[in-house]
Chains A and B, each alone.
Chain A
Amino acid sequence: MRVVIAEDSVLLREGLVRLLADGDIETVAAAGDGPGLVAAVREHRPDLAVVDVRMPPTHTDEGLRAAIEARRHRPGLPVLVLSQYVEERYATELVGRGAAAVGYLLKERIADVAEFLDAVRRVAAGGTVLDPEVVGQLLSRRRGDPVAALSARESEVLHLMAQGRSNTAIAGRLGVTAGAVEKHISGIFGKLGLDPAPDDHRRVLAVLAYLGSDR
């Protein structure tokens, strides 16, 4: 797999390159700002871009805008956005433009190397990865409606599903069988009034659309 990195801290950039290399992922270019990312993406046509939100010159949301820009040049480019803080608003902006092959994680998740590499691979394969904290924010906005009617286990499953995890991964995480997970999922979709979606990816979209739809 070939990856482009945009991260302004040299220390972290080098660390990321080494960490990805440990997982047999090749970094073909590393940029320090937004325009650098867009140029690198156009030049190297990578399988994935890993982007830090906060970069020079404004140190606000440069990375987010560069990621959206890069996807305009290369529609469908898998992008994994890393941020010091995760905010539901950013997630909506990212996912709102098509959630396929998008990831949004707290920067500190890098420290859990195996999980981070797994997220990288899932996004590169076209999946959606959302930080548990964003999912928490989305869910907490929905207190007092059908979400509250879910059983404890069902809301655990909803949580993991909204993070973009597959049935097998959810089953592994909760220590139950894949069949049990499927049963919970159809329960959740029934209670929320959503149409059962066949594949993992469209299922995440349905859940996110549902969670993001109030106000």
Chain B
Amino acid sequence: MAAGQAERRPLRLRVPLGPHGPLGLLVDPATWRALPYITVVSAVSGVTWFVILATAIPVALVTMLVWAGLPLLLVTMLLWRGGAMLERRMLRLALGLAIPDPYRPSPAGGPVRRLAALFGDPATWKDLGYLLLLFPLGLVEFLVTIILAVCCAAFLLQPALVAAGGRTVVNGNVVIDSVPEGLAWAAAGLVLLVATLYAVRGLAWLHGALAVALLGPGDEVRVRHLKASRARGVDAAEAERRRIERDLHDGAQQRLLTVAMDLGRARAKLDTDPDAARALIAQAHDGAKAAIAELRDLARGIHPAILTDRGLDAALSSLAARAPVQVSVSVEIDERPPPAVESIAYFVVAEALTNAAKHASAGRASVRVGRRGGRVVVEVGDDGAGGARVRAGGGLAGLADRAATIDGTLTVRSPPGGPTVVRAELPVEW
């Protein structure tokens, strides 16, 4: 099994000097995917967009005086937004960057309102900035990589050239005409090859960072997302309060009422019919105990005391012990996360286990809690029938909303036929 895993490790992890060494970069597919984009594609699109924009925008601004400019400007705007979308797709292919579209949702209403919204969307202007910057950036990338690659090829070819009887004159005074000299230049060529690899990756990283900053959603999208999820979080809390009220009213309150009734009847019968009174008291006793058990379950459903006292490991073990399916629990976090994170993690597991037993008729489930970077990752898997979805108003949707209020995420992967994996990622700071 260990050998099988070693087979599957990518080549770049197995070469000497590691994945970030020269050999690692040489065999890393990412280098070769980035190469055509960095050398040629970015320069070509940079020049193309510069020509288009540098022509269309001044023309549009000048003709604005006779109103023809406005439609032209809008068409140009749509064009560059399209260009930015194309760039995002290309960057995904070339640099493996998943940059989501940052645009504000288009408002309802007539075309004028939509165009106005387009105009007011900062993403539109950031797209323009990126496409204009692509011109100098693309040129620099082109020059650096092409010069390095050409020199590298020329140096590496020296021994072959000398062997074929040729000679090279550099600047009129450096002459390469012997095999040792040729080999020395070839060695320099190897160094240059390494430099080229690092240059390609370095430029790709730089280009990627710029693209993420200008083409990606900034804080605005995050803020919008948080606002929406906070509103849903408030709704979820409100719904939860109504549910608690209903449970108290339908459950414990009714039970205690019957207890009081039974006791009242027993008191009335105490002298006349002691046997009936005794039976009523026994009934009231049972009712009172049932009410206590019901209140205990309700309180645990609101917040389990053991979670506060002993943390996730103990609380999840206790949850697993009470679950109708067989559950294995593994919690690997050294430091206790904030109470809100613990609470959301706990209820995600509770809901997932309930669903596993109730809807998926699973036989076993596994709960894993770990820490990745600044996030607590909770994963609940089961071997049930699958087909679970996050339905609006359902338990999982409410938990997704709660997770979103602290900028966390909840995902459900559940193909028909199973297996189901519910995964929550919760930041420990927000």
Contact = CB atoms under 8 A, between A and B. Distances in A.
Contacts of A143: 326
Contacts of A138: 321
Given A84-B305, A89-B310, A89-B314, A111 B321 contact: no
B391 interface: no
B322 A111 contact: no
B326 A144 contact: yes
A177 interface: no
A137 B304 CA distance: 16
Contact of A85 (B285, B288, B306): B306
A141 interface: yes
A108 B291 CA distance: 10
Interface stretch (B65-73, B132-140, B292-300, B352-360): B292-300
A66 to B, nearest CB: 14
Contacts of B300: 85
Nearest to B299: A84
- Most A C-beta atoms less than 10 A away, residue of B296, B306, B320: B306
B318 interface: yes
B321 A137 contact: yes
B318 A60 contact: no
Nearest to A108: B292
A122 interface: no
B308 A60 contact: yes
Contacts of B317: 88-89
B222 interface: no
Interface residues of B, number: 21
Interface residues of A, number: 20
Interface string A2-30: 00000000000000000000000000000
B250 interface: no
Contacts of A85: 296, 300, 304-306
A19 B421 CA distance: 51
Contacts of A61: 309-310
B169 to A, nearest CB: 77
A54 interface: yes
Interface in B309-352: 309-310, 314, 317-318, 320-322, 326
B289 interface: yes
Given A88-B321, A143-B326, A60 B305 contact: yes
B306 A87 contact: yes
Contacts of B321: 88, 136-138, 140-141
Contacts of B326: 143-144
A137 B318 contact: yes
B281 to A, nearest CB: 12
A5 to B, nearest CB: 20
B314 A87 contact: yes
A136 B322 CA distance: 8
B293 A108 contact: yes
Given A61-B309, A85-B305, A140-B322, 9 more contacts: A60-B305, A60-B309, A84-B299, A84-B305, A89-B310, A89-B318, A111-B292, A136-B321, A137-B321
Interface of A: 54, 60-61, 84-85, 87-90, 106, 108, 111-112, 136-138, 140-141, 143-144
Interface of B: 285, 288-289, 292-293, 296, 299-300, 304-306, 308-310, 314, 317-318, 320-322, 326
25 contacts: A54-B305, A60-B309, A61-B309, A84-B296, A85-B305, A87-B306, A87-B310, A87-B314, A88-B318, A88-B321, A89-B306, A89-B314, A89-B317, A106-B296, A111-B285, A111-B289, A112-B289, A136-B321, A137-B318, A138-B321, A140-B321, A140-B322, A141-B321, A143-B326, A144-B326
Across chains A and B, which 6 residue pairs bring their CB atoms closest together, nearest first? A137-B321, A89-B314, A108-B292, A60-B309, A87-B306, A61-B309
